[in-house]
Amino acid sequence: MFSRTLRSRVEAGLAEADISINGGRPWDIVLHDERFYLRVISQGALGLGESYMDGWWDCAELAQFFHRLLTAHLDGHDRFTWSSALAYFKARVENRQGKWLAAENVRRHYDLGNDLYRNMLGRWMVYSSTNWEHAHTLDEAGESKLAFVCKRIGLRGGQKILDIGCGWGGMAKYAAQKYGAQVVGITLSEEQAAFARETCSDLPVEIRYQDYRDVTGEFDAIVSLGMFEHVGYKNYRRFMEVVHRCLKPGGVFFLNTIGTNESGYCANSWTEKYIFPGGMLPSMAQIASAADGLFTMEDVRDWAEFYDKTLTSWFEKFNRNWMSLKDRYGERFYRMWKYYLLSSAGAFRSKSILDWQILFST
């Protein structure tokens, strides 16, 4: 009786999103283990993700599954569980992205291995939304994203720019090669720093292993692509103050960040545990408040549709190259990474999360 009740609750919830258990459509769940029901009811987002990693269920079109789930607001992010309550409490009390934790948070995701990211990302190693407006391939979309950023900041030869969260050096390399810019890139990933230094060794590029709070100097422009999601709401104002301090008079700041429609304080429990420890998505209200009195917000564009396509392209490349990664990472990692990439694609497809390209001026 108890198991039938659990099953009925889960099935009724999924039906609101037009999702069935063992149905014949590509977004339906194929169930392998009946323990799935209790795990989802008791653990919410964490239980849904972990039960997938453990092989308790499958879905032919995970991105579409999450698109439907999130459109119907059935993702479980707001469901009370003790783990979610603890995460909320810790986010409110602690500074989960303070200097003493920031490097460890970064290491757990970005230092997984450069071989993983080379086998997933495009030629420019852009790990943020790429620009598909006129692109047909992932490589083209990555280069188009970098061209877009340089155009938006009005980059000219000889200018000095700062890239906060420079990743594997794609932006730094592009700006230096195409525009003759002098670039300082900072990251807290040792793997990224090593890769970027090698990639940019013959260019006027300096890659620093450095926290953004420790940056000094003056720059004509500052960019940050896909790093603000790691800053945390308690540090948003400090981040903006550092950027403002480091910009020359008349300088501009380009911020690319994933965002959410509602102000929050932490990521969902599965994402926090397995993908982005200490990560959280800002709302536009939180960004505007942090920039208040420091910057003028000149332009905002949403690339959610582009990020959906970017993520599905990353998964396709990762999936094609999996055999070269399999021995190092293992099957459970494959299921985790697939779930991460395609659930994220579904989230952008449903517009439950957005991707903002924001230009600020001083």
CATH number, position 245: 3.40.50.150
How many whole angstroms separate alpha carbon 243 and alpha carbon 291? 10
Q: Judge whether 198 lies within some domain.
A: yes
The average pLDDT across 123-147 equals 98
Phi and psi for 282 in degrees, rounded to 5? -80, 155
Q: Judge whether 134 lies within some domain.
A: yes
For residue 150, give the nearest of 207, 211, 220, 227 by alpha carbon: 220
* Cβ proximity of 211 and 133 under 8 Å: no
Q: Is the pLDDT of residue 4 over 80?
A: no
pLDDT digits (tens, 9 = 90+) for 80-102: 455 555 555 555 556 667 787 89
Q: Which domain holds residue 229?
A: 96-361
Q: Is the pLDDT of residue 317 over 50?
A: yes
* Cβ proximity of 81 and 46 under 8 Å: yes
180 and 314 belong to one structural domain = yes
Neighbours of 176 (CB within 10 A): 19
266 and 197 belong to one structural domain = yes
Average pLDDT of the chain is 93
Q: Judge whether 171 lies within some domain.
A: yes
Which residue among 53, 79, 105 closes a domain? 79
- Quote the pLDDT of residue 83: 55
38 and 162 belong to one structural domain = no
307 and 279 belong to one structural domain = yes
216 and 71 belong to one structural domain = no
Place of tokens 């794609």: 170
pLDDT digits (tens, 9 = 90+) for 154-206: 999 999 999 999 999 999 999 999 999 999 999 999 999 999 999 999 999 99
235 and 143 belong to one structural domain = yes
Inter-CA distances, 83 with 43, 44, 79, 86, 103, Å: 8, 9, 10, 5, 24
Inter-CA distances, 93 with 234, 266, 290, Å: 10, 12, 19
The average pLDDT across 42-60 equals 95
- Quote the pLDDT of residue 75: 59
Give, in degrees to the nearest 5, the angle at Cα 291 between 288 and 294.
145
pLDDT digits (tens, 9 = 90+) for 221-275: 999 999 999 999 999 999 999 999 999 999 999 999 999 999 987 778 899 999 9
How many whole angstroms separate alpha carbon 104 and alpha carbon 62? 30
337 and 209 belong to one structural domain = yes
234 and 154 belong to one structural domain = yes
Q: Is the pLDDT of residue 54 over 90?
A: yes
Instruction: Write 127-131 long-range contacts (CB < 8 A, 24+).
Output: 127/167, 127/168, 127/226, 128/225, 128/226, 128/256, 128/355, 129/226, 129/256, 129/303, 129/306, 129/307, 129/310, 129/355, 129/357, 130/306, 130/309, 130/310, 130/313, 131/303, 131/306
Which residue among 79, 111, 138 closes a domain? 79
57 pairs with which residues across the strands?
31
Instruction: Put the strands of the sheet holding 219-225 in their side by side order.
Output: 205-209, 182-187, 160-164, 219-225, 247-260, 353-361, 296-302
- Quote the pLDDT of residue 267: 77
Which residue among 18, 44, 79 closes a domain? 79
Q: Judge whether 86 lies within some domain.
A: no
Per-position DSSP letters for 74-87, written without gaps between them: -S-TTS--HHHHHH
- Quote the pLDDT of residue 89: 52
Q: Judge whether 246 lies within some domain.
A: yes
Q: What is the pTM of this model?
A: 0.93
Q: Judge whether 341 lies within some domain.
A: yes
Q: Is 125 helix (H, G, I), strand (E, B) or coil?
A: coil
121 and 33 belong to one structural domain = no
pLDDT band at 78 (very low <50, low <70, confident <90, very high): very low
Give, in degrees to the nearest 5, the angle at Cα 55 between 54 and 61.
125
Q: What is the count of structural domains for the chain? A: 2
Q: Is the pLDDT of residue 77 over 50?
A: no
pLDDT band at 3 (very low <50, low <70, confident <90, very high): low
59 and 131 belong to one structural domain = no
Place of tokens 């497809």: 349
